Structure formats: C-alpha cells, structure tokens
Amino acid sequence: MKRNDLAVYFIMGTPNCIQEPLHVLEDALKAGITIFQLREKGEGALTGKPLEQFARQCQELCKSYNVPFIVNDDVELALKLQADGIHIGQDDVSLTQIREKFIGRIVGVSVHTVEELEHALRGRADYVGIGPIYETQSKSDAKSPAGLTFLQEARSLHRDFPFVAIGGITTKNAQEPLKAGADGVAVISEICQSQNRHETVRACKVHK
C-alpha cells in the first residue's frame, strides 16, 4: 500500500456514533478521509446479520469514494465481504494465517514494541498501527500510552515502511505524531463526534 493512504485513517463502529452511523461515515468520506476501518465493538455492538448488513453498507459507501474498506479483527466477515483488508491486534489470529487468507489484500497490525514491529514486518504486514500514543477513551482495554518515543524509534529503524499513529489523537495534537514520523493518524471519537468533519479531517493532515 502507499504510505499516503494512511493520511487520515477513520475507525468507527455504531457504538462510537451519536449521529446516524452511515451519515457519519459518508460525511467523513466527503471530508477527505483516506482509509476506513469498521471496528464494531463495545456495548450495543451489532452482531450476526445486522452486522453483515451494516458492514456491506459501509463498504458500498467506501467504494463510491474510492477509499479502502478495512475490517477490524473479524476474519470471517472480512473474507465474506471481500473487504480490501483486515486489521489485527497482538491477541488475534496469527499473522501467518491471516497473510495466507488475504493474498493481494491489505493486512494491518497493531504493535506496541520493537519486537512486535519486527514480527509484523517478517510476517509481511502492509502497515502497522503504533500506539496508543496518548490516553484514549475509545478502548476499555487499551494499553498504557507509549507517547512519541516508540514511534520515533520505529521510523529511525524503518524509513519507508507505512506507520499510522493511534490512540487519543485529536485535532490539537495530531501534528505531533506526524512530525515524529507517522504517515498518518487514526482517529475515532474526534471524527465521530465532530460538528465540522471537513475542518477536523483537514486538521489531522500533515501541515507543511
């Protein structure tokens, strides 16, 4: 994948939205997000057929704006929908198994240490998510914030590999991880709850 595909990485599920979720997604697509991940987790999350139906609607919207559609963790759903890719954490199915099932598609991995980063590269991940950079309210099981130190170290080790920063990123601090070496920032709440998504997305992009 291209590093600039990660510029503004929007992650969303129905529990994250205070407005109608499909409206939120289309508004974010119009505002210029560059990649979308469906992460349907938390209290009240959809399952079964309702999840599949919602996922297909999200996928169609992404297709109409030519934005990659990624599924979080759910291998079965991602394969059924022929999603553009999947994103997994350290506790999910092994990267080797995932890579075999997603030939020619995007595979992203969350990493928190240099060891996990190197494992992801050996397993032929297409990009990694580094974080949490700051405190986050979007994941009840989030690890302690890593700050910018690991991100800077990762970039010094791998100059050209695609990295996206995640965790507690807002319009006020988005430029910090970008300056530290991230190709983009992953955002949940800041876009979901925004009153002006065009301005929010603009503020999350690299300012030169």
Domain that holds residue 142: 3-203
Number of domains in the chain: 1
- Residue 161 in any domain: the answer is yes
The answer to whether 139 is a known catalytic residue is yes
- Residue 208 in any domain: the answer is no
The reported pTM is 0.94
CA distance 112 to 156: 16
Annotated catalytic residue: which of 105, 110, 194, 197? 110
| Chain mean pLDDT for the chain | 94
The answer to whether 39 is a known catalytic residue is yes
Query: Is a pLDDT exceeding 90 seen at residue 45?
Result: yes
Annotated catalytic residue: which of 39, 105, 138, 194? 39
Annotated catalytic residue: which of 56, 99, 139, 202? 139
CATH number at residue 129: 3.20.20.70
pLDDT at 135: 83
Percentage of the chain surpassing pLDDT 70? 96
Helix crossing, 21-31 with 48-64: angle to 10°?
Answer: 20
Beta-strand pair 69-72/35-38: parallel
CA distance 23 to 144: 32
pLDDT at 121: 96
Cβ distance 49 to 199 under 8 Å? no
- CA R_g for the chain: 16
Cβ distance 187 to 11 under 8 Å? yes
Name residue 86's beta-bridge partners: 71, 107
- Residue 151 in any domain: the answer is yes
Beta-strand pair 85-88/106-111: parallel
- Residue 51 in any domain: the answer is yes
pLDDT of 3-19, one tens digit each?
999 999 999 999 999 99
Cβ distance 126 to 1 under 8 Å? yes
CA distance 108 to 162: 10
pLDDT of 113-130, one tens digit each?
999 999 999 999 999 999
